[in-house]
Structure 1
């Protein structure tokens, strides 16, 4: 099932990513009163956890540097109630999907079937040890097929993310270190220039790189050693393994059908830049 988990990740990730690359969700969140992109991001993504303190959001999100969550939580919720933020994210994301897919695909029987099967997998997945996923599971399932597809794909994304965090913790790779390893894997050099971490203090990035070198994962030029490459591969393999259980809810025929129905949707989204 690990192959299935990887394939479903490839097909569903572009559905989720419209939230971040298209403008509709940003505009919905800004209209509520969120002052910055990151206010809206933290407020809407963390909302299913309830009004937890920044320390809990930091732990659940894992990959952000110390203090980043606290710049937005709980202040963003004091401006806009969490339930309004998460509803705005859904509205905007569904609007992005409709616009990019066009009437033909957005209103097709294939999309309805993909939404139904994705929802079946997402709602049958185990919640134990899956904090972000469990939070998403408390939200109502949308009736509209386009919104339902986005919502269920995002539930599965958070499920996979929770498993990825577990794999990183087991490998003793911190959140910033994980971004460095991802940057190296993508061929970004120097890895400190990666967009998700380049804004961090130079001293912090230097410390992270020094730690990875001391552990023999990164060489003096900021590239993988054999040990680093093997560590990254183990993390990704375990992430796939831990992401597989939701798809046990579908029969082999249903899984094949889901792949068939998602492929044209994903192709359109990737062509539009959702990757």
Structure 2
């Protein structure tokens, strides 16, 4: 489900929504990112957004929040994000946007997306308060976003439970992909000494070996985190019957494939 939901929810971070945020006064991509994604939390201070988002380096959130709230309100940001994301998704999936089965697909996805408990899921809880869009493509995007952030909140729980910080999580992923930390997109911009200190901490914890690769314990830790993340992401789908879940999977496959193809 992650592989099917993630591409649909992630259209939020594509060019069309970005341009929509720039048009209303955001200075750059990250202004729009934080305004749109943090909007369900209201005008929460940077420290709170940092805690909820979890995997940004210290100070990154504060470069954008609260500055963005001087240019746009959270309610306005929610509208800009939804409209831009729905437009992007419609363009990416082409004829599928007007296919007869898309309304049924959006209905199944939405039923799952609004069924999970909100306790311990701050970003998911904030999204649950928002009205579900009436338009079919926007509704599907909204459902995918709910499911994506529900899983993301659970992933944070899994990381905290295993004592892995946000930057550490990026470093472990980079190493699992066979990359050095300074080559990985989400953390490559950080000062080399800062990244080196993170790697040293993981090495001291037995997760990274002397050559900078993952140890057996490091790989096992990542596997346990991913398995727990998947387990914690399952509750929304329990409201669907096995046949409905199969129907949802079959319907999402061509939509997700179209988004991935359009996104290159």
Q: Could you state the TM-score of these two structures normalised by the residue count of structure 2?
A: 0.98
1:12 matched residue in structure 2: 5
Structure 2 residue runs without a partner (length 5+): none
Q: Distance in 2 between matches of 1:191 and 1:35?
A: 28
Alignment equivalent of 2:70, drawn from 62, 65, 78: 78
1:3 matched residue in structure 2: none
Q: Distance in 2 between matches of 1:185 and 1:84?
A: 39
Q: How many residues align?
A: 264
Alignment equivalent of 1:153, drawn from 144, 157, 167: 144
2:90 matched residue in structure 1: 98
Q: Distance in 1 between matches of 2:210 and 2:142?
A: 43
Structure 1 residue runs without a partner (length 5+): 1-7
Structure 1 segment 29-48 matched on structure 2, within 5 A: 29-48=21-40
Structure 1 segment 227-242 matched on structure 2, within 5 A: 227-242=217-232
1:4 matched residue in structure 2: none
Alignment equivalent of 1:205, drawn from 195, 200, 214: 195
1:52 matched residue in structure 2: 44
- The Cα of 1:225 is off from its aligned counterpart by 0.5
**Paired residues of 1:218 and 1:225 also in contact (CA < 8 A):** yes
Q: Distance in 2 between matches of 1:82 and 1:210?
A: 39
Q: Distance in 1 between matches of 2:99 and 2:173?
A: 36
Partner SS for 2:164:
coil
Q: Distance in 2 between matches of 1:180 and 1:52?
A: 28
2:108 matched residue in structure 1: 117
Q: Distance in 1 between matches of 2:178 and 2:83?
A: 35
Structure 1 segment 188-227 matched on structure 2, within 5 A: 188=179, 190-227=180-217
Provide Cα deviations, 1:148-169, integer angstroms capped at 9, x if missing partner: 1001100111100000000000
Q: Distance in 1 between matches of 2:207 and 2:215?
A: 5
Q: Distance in 2 between matches of 1:111 and 1:221?
A: 50
- The Cα of 1:25 is off from its aligned counterpart by 0.3
Alignment equivalent of 1:129, drawn from 120, 124, 133: 120
Q: Could you state the TM-score of these two structures normalised by the residue count of structure 1?
A: 0.94
1:243 matched residue in structure 2: 233
Q: Distance in 1 between matches of 2:222 and 2:169?
A: 9
- The Cα of 1:192 is off from its aligned counterpart by 2.4
Partner SS for 2:110:
helix
Is 2:172 the partner of 1:181? yes
1:64 matched residue in structure 2: 56
Q: Distance in 2 between matches of 1:227 and 1:158?
A: 28
- The Cα of 1:10 is off from its aligned counterpart by 0.9
Q: Distance in 2 between matches of 1:221 and 1:115?
A: 48
**Paired residues of 1:111 and 1:262 also in contact (CA < 8 A):** no
- The Cα of 1:184 is off from its aligned counterpart by 1.6
1:5 matched residue in structure 2: none
| Higher relative contact order (Cα pairs below 8 Å, separated by 6+ residues) | 1
Partner SS for 1:109:
coil
**Paired residues of 2:182 and 2:189 also in contact (CA < 8 A):** no
Partner SS for 2:101:
helix
Provide Cα deviations, 1:206-233, integer angstroms capped at 9, x if missing partner: 1101000111101122211000000000
Partner SS for 1:34:
coil
